[in-house]
A and B are shown apart, each in its own frame.
Chain A
């Protein structure tokens, strides 16, 4: 049997970039959910990571109990999380918002603790994985290894993001969301029911989180407190791209994926997470409206 040649520097680079972009696209989806909520309501939802976690576990249990493919079970969980998100907004968040930004931040911190630990209690802290029969051999286009679940997730992420774009650009509720995001007072004067739009947006953000979770589930180890590291990365993405900007979150997500992937190969695996946080601090300090200058303060 002929030995496979050692990957050359170009191959390593390309492999790294491809991995980075694939993972980054999923980070992007998580970021979009958070940023769209911030854009409309100026809330930073610290429980967003837990929403992704719920999406992940939804996919896991659908697969474990009903043998449902995770990419199909998204069709089930996303509407449920949409509804759930709207309920959370209506009954939990709405009464808190008048108390101010910091109170809301603390409240969502409490919510995050609550959800993560309920999950820990219900499902134990054992690491879970979803074993898919088609996940064993990766695809090798041009010699670059691409795990199949990640490729499918990437493709679906693109579809979902495109659908989101169309929704925001072409539909009335979508335009209402953008209007409210730009100027809530003007939107209200134009007859937009800001409360209803806020509820819709939170539902949307939760649905996106759940979808991202479902897409990620086959590619990661699942554990109930995964939300912690996800929310931390999510902030990096959303600040990089500019708070409130959907395209910024997408760019930020891909950028973070790339930075982590390249960082792991060229700097050090151990410190790859640190690079993201340092970038985060730098952007917060020097370009608080994001790398592309489109974020809101």
Chain B
């Protein structure tokens, strides 16, 4: 299948569902999958390509969410600008975090991102003047806005669907472009051996900082969308460690350093989540843990990575 045809297929697959169904539950499910795809793809840039496993990406998600909410509720700034700004603020936040954490390698880097995420969560919990603390922030009414000549119906899921679909597609496109660019090659080298990468003339610090910024942007964008869609944000919803771990899960199970991997990971995560939420209310996390272990043991390249390898080996 040529690249153009694959791209068109993805586009169709993504744009069609709201035309096929107006079942709000199914649309909500699709929105959830797309949001997780966005987050997984964002994490994948840093974790999959550059090999820097962050357990603290919830920081960028929460920063994006809170930026959007605060700018709207306290500043009256329309949420779509707020979302973009959420991404940008996340990028700004990523700079000092990178400065601190990139001095460390491997598991130490991962642990430091965990510490940073916890610090940020605690600050959000306690700085009530800015964030309303544990009470959180609530949007009661969204602004009236027209798109293509029609007033958007915020009660319907459709506008949200197209919004998140656009973001998710953008993140996948960014991943694709990165994988073909020199920066993508540099990141894989850094993942393999950072010192050797330095020794062949690769500016590893610049590469990591750039990638973190890109990753933070998309994660923050996702956070902003979350605020807009769910209309309620509190520190435990947007800053918990579990969120970071789920992002890792999506990328690892789906397939690190691939474009399609995060989609598969997101579908997997959401399907299991829904299956178990129906029957057990909480059991789904059991299976996240179990699948993470199974994938690392038996399929370390993830579902998509493994499928690609099997496809390449066919007789």
Contacts and interface: CB of A to CB of B under 8 A. Distances in A.
A110 B290 contact: yes
A102 to B, nearest CB: 5
A288 B108 CA distance: 9
Nearest to B106: A101
A273 B76 CA distance: 34
A118 B288 CA distance: 11
A107 interface: yes
Contact of A44 (B111, B125, B296): B111
Contacts of B115: 232, 235-236, 277, 280-281, 284
Contact of A113 (B118, B119, B245): B245
A118 B286 contact: yes
Nearest to B103: A285
Interface residues of B, number: 41
B280 interface: yes
Given A232-B114, A235-B114, A281-B116, A117 B296 contact: no
A46 to B, nearest CB: 9
Q: Is chain A's interface secondary structure helix, strand, loop, or mixed overall? A: helix
Q: Is the interface of B mostly helix, strand, loop or mixed?
A: helix
Nearest to B280: A121
B214 interface: no
B24 interface: no
A285 B300 CA distance: 31
Contact of A284 (B112, B118, B122, B290): B112
Contact of A102 (B53, B123, B242, B289): B53
A90 to B, nearest CB: 14
Contacts of A280: 112, 115
B112 A102 contact: no
B297 interface: yes
Most chain A CB within 10 A, of B51, B282, B286, is at: B286
B262 to A, nearest CB: 16
Given A270-B126, A285-B100, A106 B53 contact: yes
Interface in A142-191: none
B300 A103 contact: yes
A92 B293 contact: yes
Given A102-B53, A274-B119, A274-B122, A121 B282 contact: yes
B282 A96 contact: no
B297 A107 contact: yes
B292 A106 contact: yes
A121 B281 CA distance: 9
Contact of B300 (A99, A228, A270): A99
Contacts of A106: 53, 248, 252, 292, 296
Nearest to B291: A110
Given A106-B252, A239-B111, A284-B104, A114 B126 contact: no
B138 interface: no
Interface string B97-135: 000100110111011101110110011011000000000
Interface string B240-257: 011001001100100000
A112 B289 CA distance: 7
Interface in A99-133: 99, 101-103, 105-107, 109-118, 120-121, 125
A117 B283 CA distance: 7
A277 B118 contact: yes
Given A117-B283, A274-B123, A107 B116 contact: no
A61 interface: no
B115, B280, B283, most chain A CB atoms within 10 A: B115
